[in-house]
């Protein structure tokens, strides 16, 4: 935890440095005639820095996934190169001296962040989150309501919020009590505990890198090895005699229950989609809908409050060089528009998300034009708001696996079941969050293939490899 704190302090100092240097540069070098060129250079400086922060922060917590890290590092190199090229180009067009300062500052910061990423494993490693293998008492902090903290976590949901892993007793469990698995994202732990507080059970918190289970599993940050490691480290055998654990349904796309069984002896079952239904699941009264994922208004609004943080950071850097007080209007308006678009998202009159985002952005600009006439609101603000909301809507589509990003064409899912291999075990029905499968004559059938959101769960879990899906890397032949 000390190292995470150190990282947070370093980030804060970097942001502070950017802020102060921006102010000084502006005070010393800029007069009214240079506003346009300053704005251009600030955009060029701000965007790569914002992007680097965007990729740096999740990267720091992404232990154990070398491929993702290498990809992100490559991406940062490209950003760095584009950054340099654009600065050189701009310098050719505008010849003012202060561009050298922007150029040097931008490149030095980019290089420092880049070097920091390469060597970050020297400072942050798997040991940063230590399991609590002592007396498994539930820490008081998870039982408190904490509305302010919850609100902050919603606004900063994009960033990981890791808690120590470990096992906790809920109520008065014994050796036959259920064992429920979850990840170590603070908000998830508190919500799960709230939903099972009156059940006598064990809660095993595994390392999901401080991210919620679905995102963490899809990004390969919550793996079979994390669960096996926790079972062994906690010595779960000494706590339980029933040798059964309940996994969250939404990790099914990235977990091998066969490997867990063979390496630990623990049998796995998949619990409900949401911890709200855990009680029903344990009482065998889980309705069919308890296994289906939705993206209802409440969830969309929660995401809409998280989405604007990146563009807000980018605007902070840009407006640091232009006119910082403008953000007092720009940022709240962006949050309000983000929530409005989240509410109307399913009812939008243009289905293609990219065109919808451009239309919404254009409407925002027209509205700002009207305000410009009525209350003399600067048009640059309107432009920033419309660009910001266009970005947010495109970003929003990536916030749930249920909403597919449509800027790039999404490959239509194709899946089929080999009846000769299907044993009718029903596991695909249990794990599919879209209800694609049903049983007929004791065999599974893909009844609604168009509903597939390509989450990997069915073919990862099918014990006989009966499911053929276009996402499978190594397709078994029929």
> Would you tell me which residues interact with ligand SF4 (CB under 6 A)?
415, 417, 422-428, 431-434, 436, 444, 452-458, 462, 464, 466-467, 469
Q: Which residue's CB is nearer to ligand SF4, number 40 or number 292?
A: 292
Name residue, tokens 């290089």: 111
What residues form DSSP beta bridges with 267? 244
Residue 251 beta carbon to ligand SF4: minimum distance, rounded to whole angstroms = 12
For the chain, give the number of residues: 478
Minimum CB–partner distance for residue 432 and ligand SF4 (Å): 3
Shortest distance (Å) from residue 464 CB to ligand SF4: 5
For ligand SF4, the closer CB: 128 or 444: 444
Query: Three-state SS for 435?
Result: coil
User: Rounded to an integer, what distance in angstroms lies between the CA atom of residue 454 and that of residue 216?
Assistant: 16
Contacting residues for 212 by C-beta, under 8 A, at least 6 apart: 183, 185, 187, 188
Name the H helices within 181-252: 186-196, 213-218, 224-234
Q: How far is the CB of 439 from ligand SF4 (least distance, A)?
A: 7
Pairwise CA distance, residues 199 & 469, whole Å = 38
Our CB check for ligand SF4 shows the closer of 59 and 415 to be: 415
The values of phi and psi at residue 201, to 5°, are -160, 175
Q: From the CB of 294, what's the least distance to ligand SF4, in Å?
A: 13
Shortest distance (Å) from residue 212 CB to ligand SF4:
17
From CA 80, how far away is CA 96, in angstroms rounded? 22
**Toward ligand SF4, which CB reaches closer, 380 or 416?**
416
Q: Considering beta carbons, is residue 64 or 435 the nearer one to ligand SF4? A: 435
List CB contacts of 389: < 8 A, sequence separation 6 or more. 334, 337, 338, 341, 357, 360, 361, 364
- Shortest CB 218 distance to ligand SF4, Å: 11
Burial 3-22 (b: 16+ CB within 10 A, else e): ebeebeeeeeebbeebeebb
Cβ contact 342:397 at 8 Å: no
Chain-centroid distance, C-alpha 422:
34
- CB atoms near residue 440 (< 10 Å): 10
Q: Are 186 and 194 in contact (CB under 8 A)?
A: no
For residues 55 and 456, which CB has a smaller minimum distance to ligand SF4 in the complex?
456
Antiparallel, parallel or unpaired: β 179-183 and 201-206 = parallel
Helices (H), 421-465: 427-431, 457-461
Smallest distance, ligand SF4 to C-beta of residue 417, A: 5
Q: Are strands 267-270 and 244-247 parallel, antiparallel or unpaired?
A: parallel
Closest distance between ligand SF4 and the C-beta of residue 438, in Å?
A: 10
- Cβ at position 411, least distance to ligand SF4 in Å: 12
Distance CA 95, CA 151 (A): 47
Q: Output 235 or 414, the one with its CB closest to ligand SF4.
A: 414
Closest to ligand SF4 by CB, 251 vs 432, is: 432
């Amino acid at each position: 935890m000390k190292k995470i704190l150190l990282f947070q302090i370093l980030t804060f100092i970097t942001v502070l440095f950017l802020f102060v240097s921006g102010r000084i540069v502006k005070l010393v070098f800029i007069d009214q005639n240079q506003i346009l060129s300053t704005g251009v250079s600030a955009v060029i400086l701000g965007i790569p820095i914002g992007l680097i922060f965007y990729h740096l922060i999740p990267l720091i917590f992404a232990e154990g996934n070398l491929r993702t890290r290498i990809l992100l590092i490559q991406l940062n190199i490209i950003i760095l190169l584009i950054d340099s090229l654009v600065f050189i180009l701009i310098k050719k067009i505008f010849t003012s001296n202060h561009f050298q300062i922007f150029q040097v500052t931008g490149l030095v910061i980019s290089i420092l962040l880049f070097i920091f990423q390469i060597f970050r494993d020297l400072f942050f490693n798997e040991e940063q989150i230590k399991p609590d293998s002592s007396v498994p008492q539930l820490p008081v902090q998870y039982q408190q309501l904490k509305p302010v903290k919850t609100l902050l976590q919603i606004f900063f949901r994009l960033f990981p919020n890791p808690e120590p892993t470990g096992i906790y007793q809920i109520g008065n469990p014994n050796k036959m009590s259920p064992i429920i698995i979850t990840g170590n994202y603070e908000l998830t732990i508190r919500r799960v505990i709230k939903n099972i507080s009156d059940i006598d059970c064990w809660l095993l918190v595994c390392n999901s890198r401080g991210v919620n289970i679905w995102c963490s599993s899809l990004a390969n940050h919550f793996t079979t090895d994390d669960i096996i490691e926790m079972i062994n480290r906690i010595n779960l055998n000494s706590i339980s005699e029933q040798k059964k654990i309940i996994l969250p349904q939404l990790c099914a796309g990235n977990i091998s229950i066969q490997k867990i069984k063979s390496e630990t002896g623990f049998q796995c079952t998949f619990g409900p989609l949401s911890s709200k239904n855990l009680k029903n699941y344990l009482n065998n009264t889980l309705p069919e809908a308890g296994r289906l994922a939705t993206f209802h208004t409440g969830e969309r609004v929660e995401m809409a409050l998280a989405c604007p943080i990146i563009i807000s950071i980018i605007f902070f850097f840009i407006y640091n060089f232009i006119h910082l007080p403008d953000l007092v209007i720009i940022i709240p308006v962006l949050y309000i528009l983000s929530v409005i678009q989240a509410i109307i998202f399913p009812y939008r009159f243009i289905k293609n998300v990219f065109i919808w985002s451009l239309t919404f952005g254009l409407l925002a600009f027209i509205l700002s034009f009207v305000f410009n006439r009525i209350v003399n609101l600067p048009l640059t603000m309107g432009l920033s708001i419309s660009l910001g909301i266009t970005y947010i809507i495109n970003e929003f589509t990536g916030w749930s696996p249920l909403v597919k990003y449509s800027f790039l064409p999404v490959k239509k899912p194709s899946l089929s079941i080999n009846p000769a291999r299907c044993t009718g075990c029903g596991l695909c029905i249990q794990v599919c969050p879209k209800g694609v499968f049903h049983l007929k004559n004791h065999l599974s059938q893909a009844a609604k293939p168009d509903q597939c959101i390509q989450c990997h769960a069915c073919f990862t879990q099918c014990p006989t490899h009966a499911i053929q899906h276009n996402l499978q890397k190594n397709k078994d032949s029929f």
